[in-house]
Structure 1
Amino acid sequence: MLNSHPRISDVAEAWRSLDPRRSLLNAPEWVETSEDDSPDSARYAVHHDADGQPNASVAVFRVDGNMFRNYDPVEVLLDCPEDAHENVAPEEVARLTALQDEASALLRDAMRPAAVCMLPGAYLPGIIRTATDAQTIHELLDTLDRAAQDWGARSTAVMHVPAEDSQLDQILRERGYVSSTVTAQCVIPVPGKSFEDYLATFGRKRRYKILRERRVFAESGIKTRWAGPEVLEDEAMVAEMGRLQSEQLRQYGHDIPTERMVALLRRIKEHLSPWCRVLVAERDGVMEAFVLSYADAESLYPKMVGWSDYAQRNFAYFNMVYYEQVAYASEQGLSQIVAGPETYDAKVHRGGVLHQRRMYVRAMEQETSVLVSLAEALDRVHQARLNAYVS
C-alpha cells in the first residue's frame, strides 16, 4: 500500500526525480498551482522500486462539479463538440445527443463526487512512471480507489491518457473502466531557427494567407512585446489579464468569474514564475491582448489568452497564439509548441499535429449499461471529428 499525501509539496523531491527531462507539465510546481484550500481535495503518492528509488507517481483530485469542465468526467461525457455537425455523420451526432439528454440527470447524480486521476492543465493522466511492470500501475490505481472510498466518491476516472498507451489501456479495462476518445493535444513542431523556416514548410496559398494575417495585425497599430514574470507583479496588468481571460472562456461556455482568474494568476506568480513568458499586445498604451506561455528546455506552452474585440478583428488569435509563439520558440531554440486541444482546424492548418487523448471512467455498477452506451457513442463522434482534420 502506498502512502498518500494531501499536498504535492509533501513528495515534491521524489516526484521531480521521475522526469529527468524536467518537463514543465510533470513538475510539482505545475501541479501545485492547481491546488486549492479545500481540505483533503487531492491525494499524491510515489511508488519506489526494490532499491528505494522512485519509479512512479499518481495524482488524484476530488471533482464535484466546480472545476473546469474538461477536468470533470461527467461534463466531458455530456458534451457534444460544436464542430461535430460539420465533420460527423448526422445519425451519429443524433445518437450521441439523445443518449446525453437521457443520461444527463442520472449521471450528474450517480457519478459525483468523482475521484479523478489527472495532471490539471497538462492533458495527461495523473500517472508518471519509469517502471513498466503492471503491478506498479495497479498499486497506483489502488491509491485512486482508496481516495474514492475516503471521499465517498461515486465514480473514478483517469483523464487524458495518450491513445498509444496500450499498457494503461489494458489495465484500466481489466479494472472495469469504459473509455472514450475525448480530445487531442496539438503539438506544432518548430523547424529551423527562424519564422521564415516555419513559413517555408507551407504551400504557396497558405504562406500567402499567413503573411496577410501578419500584415493586417502589424498595420492595426497594436504593438507586441515579450515579458517575463515581472508582468505578474503589476496588479493592474493582472486584473486586466484576468478580465480578458474570463471573457475569452465565456465564449466557450466556461463561466469563470474574473476574480477566480486573478487568483489563479497570483498562484502562477507564486509557483511558476521561472517558466513564465508573457506576450503583451498594446495600442496607445492600453492592453488589447495577451498570451501567458511557459517555457521549459524543449517546449513552449501557450496556456492563458485574452483579447479585445479590436484585437480579434485584426487577427490577434492567429498572430499571438501561433505566429509570435513560433517566432519566439525558434529564437530560443525550442523544438515544439504544445498548443493544447480543440480549435483543430486553425491549429492543423498552421502546422499542428494531433495526439489523441482518451478518458477512462468507472461508475456505480447499476449505471454501467448507460455509461457504456454513452462512452461508445462519444468515442465514435470524437474519432470521426478528429479524423476529419488529419485525412
Structure 2
Amino acid sequence: MHTPDVDIRTAERDDRRPPSPSLTHEQPTPGGVSALPPALGVVRRAAHLPRTSWDRLAGPDNAYLATRWLDVAEDTSGAAMRYLTLTDGEGLAGALATAVADADAPWLAGRPDTVLRLCAEEGRQGAQELAADLPGDLTDALLPGLVCGGRHLGRTTLLNRDGHDATGERLLGAAERMADEEGLRSVAFLHVDEHDTALRTLLTRRGYRSFHSEGYHWLLVPQGGFAEYLTGFSAHRRRRIGAERRAVRDAGVQIATAPLEPADIPRFAELEATLLGKYGMSAWTPARSAAILERALGACGPDALAATARLDGEIIGFALIVVHQDRWFAHRAGFDYAAQRRLPLYFELLFYHLVEAAAQAGATIIHYGTGSGAAKTSRGCLGSGQYTYLRTAAFGRGVGPHRVPVSRASTTPSSRSMENDITDPRT
C-alpha cells in the first residue's frame, strides 16, 4: 500500500542534518509553488518521499527504484541513502536515489572499487585504462563514494518525468555538490543500460568516464506459456530442454510457485549463502540473507513470490520473485548442491517452470538482471550492455599507470556472484 504524498519540507524537518545551502536555496516558499525554477530537495528516508508520484516516475521496469523496494534497501544495506528530488508546478519532475559506499560496505558488487577491480581483471572494455589513471589502491581512490541510481544491480538510472536535459543536469549537479561537500572521493552510476542514451550522454558531457561493467537480461513471456516458449528454439535445443525437464521430474523433484512464507525463510537463507559462498562471497551469512528476505516480505506482501524445488519434502532450491505491475523480477536464489547433484534444477526452476507460472499470472516480462549471460541467453533471454560511469577528482592529474591488485576470492565477487542477481549455480 502506498502512503499519500507528503510535503517534503515538513516531513524532513526533524529527520535530516542542517540543510546545505547549495541544495536548498531554490526551495519554494511555504505559501505555495514558487515562480523560481524547479526546486531541489534532499530526503533522507524513502518513507518521506512523495511515494505515489515517485513510483509513477519509476514505471513498470524499475521495481528496485519503487519506494517499497527503497525501504528494503535502506533497512538492509547498512548504507546512508538519500534521495534528490526536483519539483515543479506539476509535481515531481525528476528524482535520483543515492547511497554512500565505504570500505566497510559488504555489498561488494555495488561498490565502485570492487566493480572496477573485477572488470579490469576480466579485461572489460575501458576498465583497465580507467583503473590505470587512478592512484594507488582503488578502494582508497574511490571510497567513500556516492553510488547513484539505486542500490540494485543493472539499469541504475536517474528518474526524469519529461526526459529534459535540464532536469538531469540539476539532479547530477546536486549529487556532485553533495559528494564534494561531504568529502566523498567519487560519484558513480555502476550499471547504466546501453539504451539509456540520455543519461549516458549527460554523464559523458559532465566529464564522467565509463567502462563496460556487465550484461542485463530479461525474457518476454509468451502468452501461450511453456508450449509457445519452446517453439522459439531449434529442434536440438527443444530436445535438450525436454530431456532436462524429464530428468527433474523422474528424480521426484516437485516445483511450485506461491507467496513467500515466513517459515521457509531460514532454509532459503541457508541456500542463498551456500550459492554466494560458492562464487567467492564467503563472508556472506545466512542471517544477512534472512534479513533481506524478511524485509522483502514485509514490503511486498503477496507480491513476494517463492519458486521452490522440493525433494522428499525438503527444499533443495528456491528463487525469490518480486512482482511489479505486469513484470516479474527474479531477485535471489539458492540451491542444495548435494541434493541437486547434476540435475538441471537452475533451468527448470528459473526458466521452464517460471515461464509457465508467469504466463498463467498474466506477466509480460521476467527480469533476470546481471550475471550468467551465456546461460540466460541460451534459454531465450534478450540482453543489453551495462556501463559504469565514474567521476573523481583523481582523473586528469597525470597519475602514472599502476597495477590493479589481484582480488582475493574471499572478498571480491566473481563475475557471476552478484548479490541480488539470479546466477547459474551449476558446477
TM-score interval (norm. to shorter): 0.7 to 0.9
Shift in alpha-carbon separation, 1:175–1:244, aligned structure 2, 3 A: same
1:140 aligns with 2:179: no
Which of 77, 86, 91 is 1:53 aligned to?
91
Instruction: Tell me the TM-score normalized by structure 2.
Output: 0.78
Is the 8 Å Cα contact of residues 99 and 374 (structure 1) preserved in structure 2? no
- Which residue of 1 is the match for residue 143 of structure 2? 112
> How far does residue 158 in structure 1 lie from its aligned partner after superposition?
1.5
Is the 8 Å Cα contact of residues 78 and 104 (structure 1) preserved in structure 2? no
- Which residue of 2 is the match for residue 125 of structure 1? 156
> How far does residue 366 in structure 1 lie from its aligned partner after superposition?
5.4
CA distance in 2, matches of 1:293, 1:264: 13
> How far does residue 284 in structure 1 lie from its aligned partner after superposition?
1.8
> How far does residue 159 in structure 1 lie from its aligned partner after superposition?
2.3
Shift in alpha-carbon separation, 1:342–1:370, aligned structure 2, 3 A: farther
Which of 213, 232, 255 is 1:201 aligned to?
232
- Which residue of 2 is the match for residue 70 of structure 1? 109
1:38-63 CA-partner distances (Å, limit 9, x unpaired)? 998111022123x2421211111000
Higher helix share: 1
1:260 aligns with 2:288: yes
Q: Aligned AA for 2:392?
A: A
Is the 8 Å Cα contact of residues 223 and 359 (structure 2) preserved in structure 1? yes
- Which residue of 2 is the match for residue 89 of structure 1? none
In the TM superposition, what are the counterparts of 1:155-194 in structure 2 within 5 Å?
Answer: 155-194=186-225
Shift in alpha-carbon separation, 1:373–1:192, aligned structure 2, 3 A: farther
CA distance in 1, matches of 2:128, 2:97: 32
SS at match of 1:78: helix
1:203-229 CA-partner distances (Å, limit 9, x unpaired)? 100001111111111111211222203
> How far does residue 344 in structure 1 lie from its aligned partner after superposition?
1.2
- Which residue of 1 is the match for residue 73 of structure 2? 34
Q: Aligned AA for 1:119?
A: G
Aligned-pair identity in percent equals 25
1:245 aligns with 2:266: no
- Which residue of 2 is the match for residue 363 of structure 1? 392
CA distance in 2, matches of 1:149, 1:337: 39
CA distance in 1, matches of 2:388, 2:245: 37
1:352 aligns with 2:364: no
> How far does residue 367 in structure 1 lie from its aligned partner after superposition?
6.5
Shift in alpha-carbon separation, 1:356–1:203, aligned structure 2, 3 A: same
Is the 8 Å Cα contact of residues 306 and 321 (structure 2) preserved in structure 1? yes
- Which residue of 2 is the match for residue 5 of structure 1? 43
SS at match of 1:153: coil
CA distance in 1, matches of 2:335, 2:394: 46
Q: Aligned AA for 1:346?
A: A
SS at match of 1:144: helix
Q: Aligned AA for 2:42?
A: S
CA distance in 2, matches of 1:328, 1:169: 36
> How far does residue 260 in structure 1 lie from its aligned partner after superposition?
0.9
1:44 aligns with 2:71: no
1:104-132 CA-partner distances (Å, limit 9, x unpaired)? 95221121101010222252224111222
> How far does residue 275 in structure 1 lie from its aligned partner after superposition?
1.4
RCO (CA 8 Å, sep 6+): is it higher in 1 or 2? 1
> How far does residue 320 in structure 1 lie from its aligned partner after superposition?
0.8
> How far does residue 155 in structure 1 lie from its aligned partner after superposition?
0.7
1:334 aligns with 2:363: yes
1:301-351 CA-partner distances (Å, limit 9, x unpaired)? 111111111225211111111111111112122212111112111111110
CA distance in 1, matches of 2:347, 2:114: 29
Is the 8 Å Cα contact of residues 321 and 328 (structure 2) preserved in structure 1? yes
How many residues in Structure 1 have an aligned counterpart in Structure 2?
363
> How far does residue 265 in structure 1 lie from its aligned partner after superposition?
1.2
- Which residue of 2 is the match for residue 299 of structure 1? 327
Which is worse superposed, 303-312 or 359-368?
359-368
SS at match of 2:146: strand
Is the 8 Å Cα contact of residues 113 and 153 (structure 1) preserved in structure 2? yes
CA distance in 1, matches of 2:200, 2:352: 36
Is the 8 Å Cα contact of residues 60 and 126 (structure 1) preserved in structure 2? no
Which is worse superposed, 93-102 or 23-32?
93-102
SS at match of 1:35: helix
CA distance in 1, matches of 2:143, 2:169: 23
Is there any run of 5+ residues in structure 1 with no aligned partner, and where?
Answer: 85-91, 376-381, 383-391
